[in-house]
Amino acid sequence: MRVAKMIRWVLPTIVLVCAWVDANASHLSGGDIRYTHLGGNTYRIEVLLYTKSTGVDPQMEIPIALGDGGLDTLPLVETIPLPPNDSTCADQQVSLYSANHTYPGPGDYTITANVINRNGGILNVPNSLGQSICLKARLVIDPQLGPNTSARFQAPQNAVGYVWSTLIHNPLPSDSDGDSLSMDLIVPDGLSCDPLPGYITPAEVPSPDPMWNYLDPQTGRFQWYHPQLTGQYVIAIRAREWRNGTLIGEVTRDMSLCISSLFAVTGVYEPHAPELFAVNRSSEAGVFRILSASPMTLLVSDALGRAVQEKRLAQGEQLLDLRGHAAGSYLLVAISASGGSRTQRVTVP
């Protein structure tokens, strides 16, 4: 990172400092933070911020606290419009910020990026417009445990859909080092990087009929049964990495869920998922066999949510060729004529 911008203090333990930036107030709907080991004690720090895609210019850089007493800024690398999804906050884009940093030595570091302001009117966050989004990542540098690259969420935040009356978000957590992952819902952080005061889960918001929400601790799959009240909600998902039984790192996803009028109050109208949508590998790497029971549209996006292909599927079996795209994970979203959707992940070697 740029040495001229560094400010350092000598601290024996974790430093938790919040950095601030005005993100064109009330257009910020979520964010992710992650890091990649580059060699020695050097890491690439990345932040993804989700905002409206119209009428909002992304910040050219955002401040970050590095956990070792250093403050710096991450420059904007790129901004990507996200494909629309009728089950989540529409009109979204994701901006990627990234820079490298070398740590002084072994230690337990908490990296924080505190960005203001959250969207206003969030139903499960009192006075949400007066709150910020604080993203945290814990980095443990321990020569005995070895170098570590953080877990990351392969699915973008707008990868949300319905199965009957249940809203589902599967963040698709992965770990390139092969560490064990545990997932949990936590209270999102706000001003001063403290937990949001008065926060309740989406299912705890008073509604005409009972609701419940659950996050699978192994897969990170979030389920919210029978959401009813139109509006925006916030959740935070934490992924922890374990190596030989020792916590070696963690990252958080702070994200919004938007319930449209289609699902408010009665929940009677609900587009059904495609009757049959199956994806299988073919004999050629990067080529997949798609089986659909009826005509539908197939959207293909990469791990950052960038649309890479759109294909109209006829009834029956056909091939999807992704050999021309970079290696990695891709999301296939099949959209039926009624507007329902089903999502599946594939990997291109």
In 3D, which of 136, 73, 69, 134 has the Cα closest to residue 103?
69
Q: What is the pLDDT of residues 141-165, one digit of tens each?
A: 999 999 999 999 988 888 887 777 7
> Which stretch of 107-111, 144-148, 211-215, 333-337 has the lowest confidence by average pLDDT?
333-337
Q: What is the pLDDT of residues 78-100, one digit of tens each?
A: 998 877 654 456 678 899 999 99
Where residue 84 falls (left for φ over 0; alpha for ψ -120 to 50; beta otherwise) is beta
Report yes or no: 177 and 171 within 8 Å, Cβ to Cβ: no
pLDDT at position 16: 31
Cα separation, 24 vs 118, in Å, equals 10
pLDDT at position 116: 79
Q: What is the pLDDT of residues 165-206, one digit of tens each?
A: 788 888 889 899 999 999 999 999 998 899 999 999 999 999
Report yes or no: 294 and 275 within 8 Å, Cβ to Cβ: yes
Proportion of the chain above pLDDT 70, given as a percent:
83
Query: Is residue 133 packed enough to be buried (19+ CB in 10 Å), middle (13-18) or exposed (0-12)?
Result: buried
CATH hierarchy code of domain 277-348: 2.60.40.3080
Cα separation, 49 vs 57, in Å, equals 12
Give all strands of the β-sheet with 160-163 in edge-to-edge order.
Answer: 160-163, 166-169, 222-225, 212-215
| Mean pLDDT of the chain, nearest integer | 82
**pLDDT band with cut points at 50, 70 and 90 for residue 20:** very low
Residue type, 271: P
Q: Where exactly does CATH 2.60.40.3080 map onto the chain? A: 277-348
**pLDDT band with cut points at 50, 70 and 90 for residue 15:** very low
> Which stretch of 14-28, 109-123, 211-225 has the lowest confidence by average pLDDT?
14-28
Asked whether the CA dihedral 234, 157, 75, 174 is positive or negative, the reply is: positive
In 3D, which of 46, 16, 44, 42 has the Cα closest to residue 34?
46
Report yes or no: 257 and 233 within 8 Å, Cβ to Cβ: yes
Cα dihedral 166/216/98/146 (nearest 10): -170
Q: What is the pLDDT of residues 285-325, one digit of tens each?
A: 999 988 887 788 888 888 776 778 888 888 888 899 999 88
pLDDT at position 317: 83
Cα separation, 30 vs 235, in Å, equals 9
Residue type, 260: S
pLDDT at position 7: 30
Cα separation, 293 vs 317, in Å, equals 9
Per the omega criterion (within 30 degrees of 0), is the bond before 114 cis?
no
pLDDT at position 340: 60
Has residue 267 got a pLDDT over 50? no
Has residue 19 got a pLDDT over 70? no
Proportion of the chain above pLDDT 90, given as a percent:
43
